[in-house]
Amino acid sequence: MTTLAHKLRLIDYFALAFGTMVGVGWLVLMDDWLGRGGPAGAILGFALGGILLLPVGYVYGQWVQRIPDAAGEAAYTAEVFPPIVSYFTGWMMLLAYFIVCPWEAVAVGKLAAYIFLSLNSFELYRVAGQPVFLPRLVLGIALTLFLGALNYRGIRLSASFQNWTTTLMLLLFAVVLGISGMRGAPANFHPAFRVTPLVSIVLTLQIVPYFMTGFESVPKVAEEAHLEFSSRGFFRAIVMAVLVGAGFYVLVVAAVSYVAPWQGLIGKRFATAIAFEQALGARWPVRLILAMALFGLFQCFNGNFVASSRLLFAYGRRRTIHPSFSTVHEKFLTPSTAVLGITTGTLAGLLLGDALLVPVTEVGSMASALGWFAACLSFWMVEKRATIRIVTGLGIAVSLLLFLMKVLPVFPGHFSPAEWIALGIWVGLGFVLRARS
């Protein structure tokens, strides 16, 4: 059997995990974050979320050393659970990665249209009342085809692209933090919470799984590690991604809330850019932030593309879906059919526009927490050392709580009917593909 290429090192795994985690949500959804918790609620929610996810990251670091399989959660749960449980655990994680791809393809048109208003022209049709414009659609298609070709031709090309975009985004982020520190004021933080402190933090914690999904992408490319790469490096990459990712979200919320009064940003699209434009009275900070957002979009799109294509490849290899998805290109040593499958699926999702993607994105947050819970529970069942079981138990409790906060009606911000429908469609599709295999 042809194997995948062995090319990746520690910096590649960190860039993949961090990039899969951090995209453009901090720009296009900042008003929602502040609307949920206010500056202190959002900051504490992301900080607490990052800390709580460390036990989950530890479990993944242990699993990937024992089973370096692209199937990830499906392979881990297969050790202790029936095949159908293993199948749907991985299937839900595939949703968490894959749905980001069309979302980012739509977002690139939104970002470009903020600068070039003429892109909001030539309306083709509407989905759920939201227009789909031809120029923005073309941009999304072009980016999707570019990343599809990049990943088709080799993991080294994809990893190098990921490293550059991650580096440039972090450098621009440092500049943005400096601007906020010089031009902001502590008074802009008041009031610190949107509602009560507890509710503000809980409402933010509900979205942490979606925006922190990415650290567990490391096991999906574990088979492509360089031959000299130490298996302990997987754990280091995961922990680095969790801490840097949570720190990024904490600092970007703090920077926006410090530079402009946060209550005036509620309901504003691209609230992050608007805050800096108001504070400096100039457009150049907006261009700087949008450039940073584009690099973030590229890295997030590419990272989720890599993770979802590897999961699809692993499912084909396990013959739980059509085995053609397990094809490895003889020259490039990439999962070529799986890459083409994710490219096609992304293009199909892109045609829907952003209106119908919102409920599916919310399902992605729940799917991530469910996958984390299954991985932790499986490890707890196979691990016999008491100290490690304690850490694993913390991971089980955290991931279960994050999952329940989305599905139980006693929590504010639980699933809406549209989100239950989106979940049902994805689960139904999984049943169909499994039956056909």
CATH number of domain containing 96: 1.20.1740.10
Alpha helices in 116-220 (DSSP H): 134-152, 155-183, 197-205, 208-212
- Helix (H) / strand (E) containing 127: strand 123-127
- Is residue 142 one of the residues assigned to a domain? yes
Cα gap 419→359, rounded to integer Å: 5
Cα gap 128→119, rounded to integer Å: 20
Three-class SS of residue 80?
Answer: coil
Average pLDDT over residues 7-23: 92
Cα gap 72→173, rounded to integer Å: 32
Three-class SS of residue 277?
Answer: helix
Closest by Cα among 192, 175, 191, 182 to 259: 182
Average pLDDT over residues 43-72: 92
Omega prior to 55 cis, within 30 of 0 = no
Cα gap 404→61, rounded to integer Å: 24
- Is residue 270 one of the residues assigned to a domain? yes
> What tokens does 386 get?
């008491």
Three-class SS of residue 30?
Answer: helix
Cα gap 373→209, rounded to integer Å: 12
Which of 38-52, 214-228, 314-328, 346-360 has the least mean pLDDT?
Answer: 346-360
pLDDT in tens, 90-101: 988 988 888 888
pLDDT in tens, 193-243: 888 888 888 888 878 877 888 899 999 999 999 989 998 899 999 999 999
- Is residue 111 one of the residues assigned to a domain? yes
More confident residue, 55 or 355: 55
In the chain, the number of structural domains is 1
- Is residue 54 one of the residues assigned to a domain? yes
Cβ neighbours for 3, distance < 8 A, ≥ 6 positions apart: 223, 328, 333
Q: Is the pLDDT of residue 109 over 90?
A: no
> What percentage of the chain has pLDDT greater than the value 70?
97
- Quick one: pLDDT at residue 147? 94
- Is residue 5 one of the residues assigned to a domain? no
Cα gap 96→300, rounded to integer Å: 13
Closest by Cα among 398, 5, 19 to 244: 19
Average pLDDT over residues 284-307: 89
Average pLDDT over residues 299-322: 91
> What tokens does 380 get?
């707890």
Residue 31 near residue 118 (C-beta atoms within 8 A):
no
Average pLDDT over residues 137-161: 93
Count of helices and strands (H, E) across the chain: 18, 2
Which of 66-80, 113-127, 254-268 has the least mean pLDDT?
Answer: 113-127
∠ CA 292-18-25 to the nearest 5 degrees?
50
pTM reported for the whole predicted model: 0.89
- Is residue 258 one of the residues assigned to a domain? yes
- Is residue 106 one of the residues assigned to a domain? yes
Average pLDDT over residues 330-344: 93
- Quick one: pLDDT at residue 151? 94
- Quick one: pLDDT at residue 347? 93
Average pLDDT over residues 181-196: 86
Residue 413 pLDDT level (bands cut at 50, 70, 90): low
Count of CB atoms situated within 10 Å of the CB of 267? 9
pLDDT in tens, 356-405: 566 666 677 788 889 999 999 999 999 888 889 999 999 999 899 888 88
The distance in angstroms from the start CA to the end CA of the chain is 20
Cα gap 54→394, rounded to integer Å: 9
Residue 152 pLDDT level (bands cut at 50, 70, 90): very high
Average pLDDT, the chain: 88
- Quick one: pLDDT at residue 18? 94
Identity of the amino acid at 112:
A
Q: Is the pLDDT of residue 412 over 80?
A: no
Q: Is the pLDDT of residue 436 over 80?
A: no
Cα gap 173→294, rounded to integer Å: 12
Residue 96 near residue 215 (C-beta atoms within 8 A):
no
Alpha helices in 54-154 (DSSP H): 54-66, 73-77, 83-98, 100-115, 134-152
- Is residue 1 one of the residues assigned to a domain? no
Identity of the amino acid at 85:
V
Q: Is the pLDDT of residue 1 over 60?
A: no
Phi, psi of 190 (to 5 degrees): -85, 140
Cβ neighbours for 58, distance < 8 A, ≥ 6 positions apart: 235, 239, 391, 392, 395
- Quick one: pLDDT at residue 358? 60
Boundaries of domain holding 158: 10-436
Which of 127-141, 230-244, 297-311 has the least mean pLDDT?
Answer: 127-141
Q: Is the pLDDT of residue 301 over 90?
A: yes
